[in-house]
């Protein structure tokens, strides 16, 4: 919105050319979304508290949850969604079709999560929309996103599946692209939802994954970097960096209120929206398998639930004391803060190594280019 307006004035004010740089606008997106969440976060929490909009706590959960988390406001995902929309609409090129597909996924999944949170609050229990109905709606919304992407954002790489570390290994999915697209978005959305069980546990990994995809989208949309790294170049995908940057900024601002002890929970409003958004970004940038790698925590939490359900149904035994996995550690006596810190420390250290390697490669490309 603001970007398109400023670019129209470039002929009169040459200094505005700085807004043509994707890296500059991505930084502005991060800052804008973070600041808006900071500003409205306090008043929003006070409003939620005054209306007694608090999330119900599972009766079979860890005792620490039941005692300490009762009465904490929920639906904090509204803050995150506002931050994402604000940062993206302000600094992204609104003529870019990928931006609108991403905004559609984020908003629609956020509204689905909000409906789920509302029913939980109204019924005063942890059962909102039934699991089957929720998945059905997620599939429908993903199908709409597929149609939009095929209609307005089609490219020659869209139906291909690329494998990291194997540059020449490519699988053409054909019509199977549609169920695969749905699987990635629905799976990612529910995986983040399952991870959202401790103060800041989902927020920080989402922020790190979004930060990774900010870099990935920039590289995929850059002819020089994509050629050097031997990954497919996809025109206009670089603009998705703005969207990813707004996720980073929104989560960073929300973390101020969500860090232990949390003043508010994101609820399904935030977790479904963020998970769906990350899945959509991975498909647009053709790094679906990379999402499973850098979002390893989400995969681990989901697998722990699947193992628990299968083991109990077929063998009558529980592999974990409680699923998802973070509740298992809590049941074993690890406090909420220690459990969260242990998990996040491992994520942080591995992420630093990934970003270090990526930075070295990009710096090498830059100096190789200027030396020529």
Q: Where are the domains of the chain?
A: 24-290
First CA to last CA distance, the chain = 38
Other Cβ atoms within 10 Å of 302 Cβ, number? 22
CA 31 to chain CA centroid, Å, is 17
Residue ranges of the chain whose pLDDT lies below 50 = 336, 348, 351-356, 358-367, 369-372
Separation of alpha carbons 250 and 29, rounded Å = 9
In this prediction the pTM is: 0.87
Separation of alpha carbons 250 and 82, rounded Å = 8
pLDDT at position 199 is 63
pLDDT at position 221 is 94
Separation of alpha carbons 79 and 270, rounded Å = 8
């Amino acid at each position: 919105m603001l970007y398109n307006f400023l670019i129209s004035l470039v002929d009169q004010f040459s200094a505005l050319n700085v807004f043509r740089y994707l890296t500059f606008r991505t930084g502005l997106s991060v800052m804008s979304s973070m600041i808006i969440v900071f500003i409205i976060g306090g008043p929003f929490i006070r409003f939620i508290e005054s209306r007694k909009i608090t999330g119900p706590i599972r009766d079979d959960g860890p005792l620490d949850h039941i005692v300490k988390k009762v009465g904490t406001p929920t639906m904090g995902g509204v803050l995150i969604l506002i931050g994402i929309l604000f940062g993206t609409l302000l600094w992204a090129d609104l003529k870019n079709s990928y931006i609108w597909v991403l905004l559609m996924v984020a908003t629609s999944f956020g509204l689905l999560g909000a409906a789920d949170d509302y029913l939980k609050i109204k019924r005063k229990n942890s059962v909102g929309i039934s699991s089957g109905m929720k998945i059905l709606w997620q599939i429908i919304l993903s199908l709409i996103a597929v149609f939009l992407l095929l209609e307005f954002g089609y490219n020659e790489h869209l139906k291909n599946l690329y494998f990291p570390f194997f540059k020449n290994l490519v699988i053409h999915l054909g019509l199977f692209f549609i169920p695969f697209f749905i699987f990635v978005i629905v799976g990612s959305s529910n995986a983040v939802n399952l991870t959202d069980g401790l103060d800041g546990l989902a927020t920080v990994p989402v922020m790190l994954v979004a930060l990774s995809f900010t870099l990935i989208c920039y590289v995929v949309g850059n002819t020089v970097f994509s050629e050097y790294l031997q990954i497919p170049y996809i025109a206009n995908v670089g603009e998705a960096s703005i969207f990813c940057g707004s996720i980073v900024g929104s989560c960073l601002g929300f973390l101020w209120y969500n860090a232990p002890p949390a003043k508010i929970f994101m609820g399904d409003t935030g977790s479904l929206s963020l998970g769906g958004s990350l899945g959509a970004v991975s498909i647009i940038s053709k790094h679906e398998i990379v999402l499973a790698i850098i979002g390893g925590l989400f995969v681990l939490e989901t697998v722990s639930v699947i193992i628990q359900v299968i083991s109990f149904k077929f063998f009558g035994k529980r592999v974990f004391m409680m699923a998802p996995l973070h509740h298992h550690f809590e049941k074993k006596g690890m406090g909420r803060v220690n459990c969260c810190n242990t998990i996040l420390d491992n994520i942080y250290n591995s992420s630093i190594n990934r970003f270090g390697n990526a930075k070295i490669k990009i710096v090498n490309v830059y100096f190789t280019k200027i030396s020529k």
